[in-house]
Amino acid sequence: MGLKDWWAGKVAGPRGYGDALGRNARKGGAALANLVFISHGMRPDGGSTTIFDTATDMERAGFKPRFADITPIDLASLTQDERLVFRSLQTAMISFAFIVNSNAALQYMRRENTSKFRNGLGPSLLRSMVECGLFDRIETAQTEVLSYAKSIDSVLTATVFNMEKPASGDVLEQFIVRAVTISGARFRYGFTRTGSTGFDLVAVPFVRETLKSVFAATNQYKW
């Protein structure tokens, strides 16, 4: 636990701790979005977005993988279609990071402290989205994140993350599919969860570390 997190927990309580985690949640979501995007392949025809276990499975289904390995994303090299999907995935995965943190609080904290935590987490995450240039205004960022949060029936009953098979019957899958749909992309997209470019390389550690951090703070400060 860093000094900022310690101060937030010791002095400012659950709300301060949520505020301290907001920026990290945005960064974690953005990193996940990058790898989800790198894992993608396309088909020229329309159709539903599909999550595949491996790049080989994706190729067999007629999708052409975009990247052979994990590499920095050069926005100038992307097509207009890809840019739309990339930006949409950024919002979707940051929204997923918000849900993961909120759900961790729901699991471990008393209900009144969960509300305080989210009241710190949400504004911090939204400010970070504006500061990194994803949105011009906090109000716009809030509308986008809330639209993803409201698309889930209930964070209490939905499977937020399938640890054994990420993006399979969970909120992560819903958000990836939704991101492609609302991007307005003309092509059909597929994504791979495992392998050299599989997004599980970031998704699993991110969720595990988030749960571990929130549990540790909750236990230490008796929230």
Q: Does the residue 6 lie in any domain?
A: no
**Domain span at residue 191?**
12-66+77-218
Tell me how far apart the alpha carbons of residues 29 and 73 are, in angstroms, rounded to a whole number.
16
Q: Does the residue 1 lie in any domain?
A: no
Question: Are the C-beta atoms of residues 77 and 172 closer than 8 Å to each other?
Answer: no
Q: Does the residue 21 lie in any domain?
A: yes
Q: Does the residue 190 lie in any domain?
A: yes
Q: Does the residue 5 lie in any domain?
A: no
Report, in this order, helix, strand and coil percent for the chain, each rounded to 5.
Answer: 65, 5, 30
Q: Does the residue 207 lie in any domain?
A: yes
In the structure, how many helices (H) and strands (E) does the chain have? Answer: 8, 4
* Cα–chain center distance at 138: 18
pLDDT of residue 217: 92
pLDDT of residue 27: 98
Q: Does the residue 2 lie in any domain?
A: no
pLDDT of residue 46: 80
Low-confidence ranges of the chain (pLDDT < 50): 155-156
Number of domains in the chain: 1
pLDDT of residue 155: 47
Tell me how far apart the alpha carbons of residues 37 and 197 are, in angstroms, rounded to a whole number.
9
Q: Does the residue 7 lie in any domain?
A: no
Tell me how far apart the alpha carbons of residues 15 and 117 are, in angstroms, rounded to a whole number.
4
